[in-house]
Each structure stands twice: as structure tokens, then as C-alpha cells.
Structure 1
Amino acid sequence: MALKGNLTKARLAESMLQLIQTSGYSGTGLNAVIEHAAAPKGSIYFHFPDGKEGLGIAAVELAAKQFETLIAEAATSAGSAAEAARVAIEALATIVSESNFRLGCPVSVVTLEMGAESERLRQACAAAFEAWIVPTSALLEASGVEAKEARSLATVVVSTIEGAVIVSRAMQSTQPLLSAADVVAELINQRCKTAGGTR
């Protein structure tokens, strides 16, 4: 029973995540989530007693984990920090393109819509961005960049990717993301070389 309940809870969070990307947080109603997840009525308040806000937080946390996984896989497959950044950004470009530019970053969507309205959602979004900055920073440190600079550079990288996703969706073109991949990779290479790290 517990397993079934956990599966329902996960399915609700996944549905909320997908609907936020296509309809926005404000445009996503709980009935739509229930229908999308094919979940029993009443299951949202059973699993998320605080309703839509709690479900939104779960969706943001899920998005954070998915992108963390993307970063980890890129770091494992790439030969350098610059190449890892390029692999991750190109993977995002593929996701955005294959969705016909309907999918973007749900964390930025929730931040822009609800950051000033819900402190809990704002904190969840901040934690999500932090979950991407920290491993990126660690990857840069492993390439020889000093900790403070690595943190700063990682923040710039994540911010650049977020902006590029939005511009790509607006233009219905992956070019902004691919251009971001070029610039980010070159910037990382330069910083690693300056720090005496390996390319």
C-alpha cells in the first residue's frame, strides 16, 4: 500500500512538473494535475496536505534532481569541465527542441510567477538553483579553479543557461542555447588555463 501511495505521489509531482512547463504555475489547476496523473480525486490533499503550494515545491525539487542528474552524467562522460558544460547544454537544447519549444525550465517559471508571492516556493527555487551551482562549482574546482572563483563562475554558467533556455523558447530555435554552450565552454577553458588547470 505504501509503495502504491509513493508511486501516486511521485506521479502527481511529475505531472505538476510537466504542466508547469507547458501552462505555467498559475495556469496549472489541481484538477488538471489529477487528470494528467490519472490519480484518484482527493489524492493531492492526501499526499500534499498544503495543496498546490506543496505540490509545486515537490515539482521544483523533482526538476532540481533531474538537472543534477544531467550535470552528473555530463561530468562523467566529458573529459573536462568545459566539455561537461557543453554536453549538458546541448542535452537541454535537444529536450527543448524535441518538445517543439514547449518545455523549458520549470524552476525559472515558478520563480518568475511565484517568487514574490510564496516564500516557500521561492526558497524551493533557490535551493534548486543551488543544487546546480554546487556540483558545477565542484567540477571547476577539480579543474584547478580556486573555490571562490569557481562558485562565481558556476553561478554565471547556471544563469546563462537559464536565460538561453528562455530565449530559445521565445525564438523557437536552439541557436541561443548552442551559442551559450560555445561561450560557456570558452569561458571555462580560459579560467581553467589561467588557474593552471587542465583543459
Structure 2
Amino acid sequence: MDTRSQIIEIATNLFQHKGYKGVGINEILKECNLTKGALYYHFPNGKEELLIACLQEMNVTITNSIKKIFNKHQTTREATSAMIQKLVADFNQKGTITGYTFSSIVSGMDSLSEAIRDACNSLYMEIQGIYSNKLQEEGNSKEVADSTALLMTATIEGAVMLSSTKKSAEPLEQIAQVLPKVSLGS
């Protein structure tokens, strides 16, 4: 693994566990065993540029996982259930779902820069696009599919945060039962 990729991987892990504001440059340097000059060589604009790179990497990982699940299942309902069950299994195995959400990293969104908000918005829009496309393939209008995709994204992100807060997969398990019926028809 090259140095830049290693920095992104380590920083992503730190950001996921402590949030963007909870991680300082010195901690990143220590964990990566780097000098300040080496970090700024790869990320000349510092911590914010590094966070955006981390979010972009997570975007690829998360959306590829969602696409894989959605391509494997015939209906949005089946795919949504399978995706949530994967989240539940990951949570039960690891006690967290750090690799599948980025909301814990940027919990203080209102005080973050426009560039970081744009990176987060891109990820959410890509996820919603996957859901919306599947719903449209099933015959839903674009308007209905887009609204339903927003509902799905908000519900799943919320359940991930609640599961993390409660240290229990129970919120995810509940939406696994309810979300397919509510948002996708019963």
C-alpha cells in the first residue's frame, strides 16, 4: 500500500472513531508514523483535504457494497432487507458499523466547510441514486423513486446512528422489518 493510501486508511479509522473535530494533525502523524512535511506533501491543504479524500474513499467502498447487494436482488424490497441484514450482522460481529457510514465523522456538519459538505452530499446523492434507479426499474416514477430513496437513506443512516448510540443492533433490526413495508409498499 502506498503512503497516501495508508494515510487515508488510518485517518479514516481515526475520524470514524473520534469524529473530524476529535482528531488532531499530531494524532494522525503519530498513528501514520509520519512527519508533518510528509503529510502535507500528500495533502497540501491539511486535515480538511485529508478528510475529503477519506470521504471519497468511503464513497467508493460504500456505494460498491450497496450496488453489489442491489444488483443481486430482484426487487428493492429484497435488496433493502438484505442490505440492512448485512448491517445488523456487521454490527453484531464488530459492535460497530464504522465502515458503512460516515455520519459519525462529520457530526458537527454545520461548522464544517462547504467542500466537506459537498463531499458528504455527493455520497448521499450517490446512495440515493442507487435506490432510486432500482425503484424506477420496478416501474415507479422518478419523483416517487427519488422521494422514497431519500426516506430510505435517512432511515438507514438514522438507524445506524441509533445502533451506535445504543450499542445494539436493535434499531437496525426494527427497520429491517418495517422499512421495506413502509417505503416500498406492503
* C-alpha RMSD over aligned residues: 2.1
- 153, 165, 168: which is aligned to 2:148? 153
User: What does residue range 159-174 of structure 1 map to in structure 2 within 5 Å?
Assistant: 159-174=154-169
What TM-score, normalized by structure 2, do the two folds share? 0.89
In the other structure, the counterpart of 1:11 is 6
User: Given residue 119 of structure 1, which amino acid in structure 2 is its aligned partner?
Assistant: E
Q: For each residue in 1:173-195, what CA deviation from the matched residue of structure 2 results, as whole angstroms up to 9, or x when unmatched?
A: 1110111122221134418xxxx
Runs of 4+ aligned residues of structure 1 deviating over 6 Å after TM superposition are: none
Cα distance in 1 for partners of 2:94, 2:29 equals 22
What TM-score, normalized by structure 1, do the two folds share? 0.84
User: Given residue 165 of structure 2, which amino acid in structure 1 is its aligned partner?
Assistant: A
Q: Is the 8 A contact 2:101 2:160 kept in 1?
A: no
Q: Is the 8 A contact 2:20 2:106 kept in 1?
A: no
Alpha-carbon shift at residue 60 of structure 1 (Å): 1.2
In the other structure, the counterpart of 2:182 is 187
The reply to whether residue 29 of structure 1 matches residue 9 of structure 2 is no
User: Given residue 158 of structure 2, which amino acid in structure 1 is its aligned partner?
Assistant: G
In the other structure, the counterpart of 2:122 is 127
Cα distance in 1 for partners of 2:27, 2:75 equals 43
Q: Is the 8 A contact 1:22 1:102 kept in 2?
A: no
The reply to whether residue 63 of structure 1 matches residue 74 of structure 2 is no
- Number of residues paired by the alignment? 186
- 48, 52, 70: which is aligned to 1:75? 70
Cα distance in 2 for partners of 1:104, 1:113 equals 19
Q: Is the 8 A contact 1:75 1:84 kept in 2?
A: yes
Structure 2, unmatched stretches of 5+, are none
- 112, 134, 139: which is aligned to 2:107? 112
The reply to whether residue 90 of structure 1 matches residue 78 of structure 2 is no
Calculate percent identity across the aligned residue pairs: 28
Q: For each residue in 1:148-195, what CA deviation from the matched residue of structure 2 results, as whole angstroms up to 9, or x when unmatched?
A: 11011001101101100111111111110111122221134418xxxx
Structure 1, unmatched stretches of 5+, are 192-199
- Describe the SS at the equivalent of 2:74: coil
- Describe the SS at the equivalent of 1:145: coil
In the other structure, the counterpart of 1:142 is 137
- Describe the SS at the equivalent of 2:185: helix
The reply to whether residue 42 of structure 1 matches residue 37 of structure 2 is yes
Cα distance in 2 for partners of 1:161, 1:98 equals 18
Alpha-carbon shift at residue 39 of structure 1 (Å): 4.7
Q: For each residue in 1:46-78, what CA deviation from the matched residue of structure 2 results, as whole angstroms up to 9, or x when unmatched?
A: 111000000011111112111101111111222
In the other structure, the counterpart of 1:194 is none
